[in-house]
Chain A
Amino acid sequence: DAGITQSPRHKVTETGTPVTLRCHQTENHRYMYWYRQDPGHGLRLIHYSYGVKDTDKGEVSDGYSVSRSKTEDFLLTLESATSSQTSVYFCAISDLGGDTQYFGPGTRLTVL
């Protein structure tokens, strides 16, 4: 497996609290992606990054923000978590945009 870690792996939080998920890679890949996975919806792109400080929105970006200050780290922040953001979140990396993606182990987030 590619060198991708996600932290935390599990989190339970309450509605209205801020949450930050971290994705860390050791592959020096340029592209990094955040997805959420929900039953019946497959993998939906939240935000992605094409370089340090370069990010763009995906199809379900409302309520989420991201930051990438270093090549190896991509942070996903829920400013004020809602129950609809309960999901499994996957980070992925790619050397070339639109090419093969390698996924992290995922973070299971529950918002009560």
Chain B
Amino acid sequence: GQQVMQIPQYQHVQEGEDFTTYCNSSTTLSNIQWYKQRPGGHPVFLIQLVKSGEVKKQKRLTFQFGEAKKNSSLHITATQTTDVGTYFCAGRDDYKLSFGAGTTVTVRA
């Protein structure tokens, strides 16, 4: 079945710095979704990308879908303490999603 790999598993960031997390699939994806889970909370939908090469922004977050639709990235600029949590990518697999293992982000003030 479809496998979605996500790196890095952990990201320790100084407040104010930028970082990127990457998502790679073994197969072509019809769409890619990103979720955020705060510590102790549940995953919350952030965004969906559908088109090859698509780029979407949400304030300091930039999401990109690769040209071959097999990879995606999430770039956060000027990291803040509110960015703490685990970010998951998920690829559509028929009527379900295949989630990556997530990138857990901690922020040093």
CA gap between A26 and B6 in the complex, in Å: 33
Cβ of A33: which chain B residues have Cβ within 8 Å of it? 96
The docked-state distance in angstroms from the alpha carbon of A104 to that of B42 is: 7
Residue of B nearest to A101 (CB): B97
When chains A and B are docked, how far (Å) is the Cα of A97 from the Cα of B99?
A: 14
Interface of chain B residues 55 through 109 with chain A (CB within 8 A): 88, 90, 92-102
A45 at the interface (CB under 8 A from B): yes
Shortest C-beta distance, B67 to chain A (Å), equals 22
Interface magnitude class on chain B: 20 to 34
With A42-B88, A59-B1: A31-B43 Cβ-Cβ less than 8 Å: no
User: Interface 1/0s, chain A 71-91, versus B by CB < 8 A?
Assistant: 000000000000000000010
B9 at the binding interface (Cβ < 8 Å) = yes
Give Cα A35 to B102, complex, Å. Answer: 14
In the complex, chain A residues 7-40 whose Cβ is within 8 Å of any chain B Cβ: 31, 33, 35, 40
Interface residues of B (CB under 8 A from A): 1, 6, 9, 30-31, 33, 41-45, 48, 88, 90, 92-102
21 pairs, A vs B, C-beta closer than 8 Å: A31-B95, A33-B96, A40-B101, A42-B99, A42-B101, A43-B102, A45-B96, A48-B95, A58-B96, A59-B1, A90-B43, A98-B30, A98-B95, A98-B97, A99-B48, A99-B92, A100-B45, A101-B43, A101-B90, A102-B45, A105-B42
Chain A contact residues, CB within 8 Å of chain B? 31, 33, 35, 40-45, 48, 50, 58-59, 90, 92, 97-106
Give 8 closest A-B pairs by Cβ, nearest first.
A97-B95, A42-B101, A98-B92, A103-B42, A43-B99, A42-B102, A42-B99, A103-B43
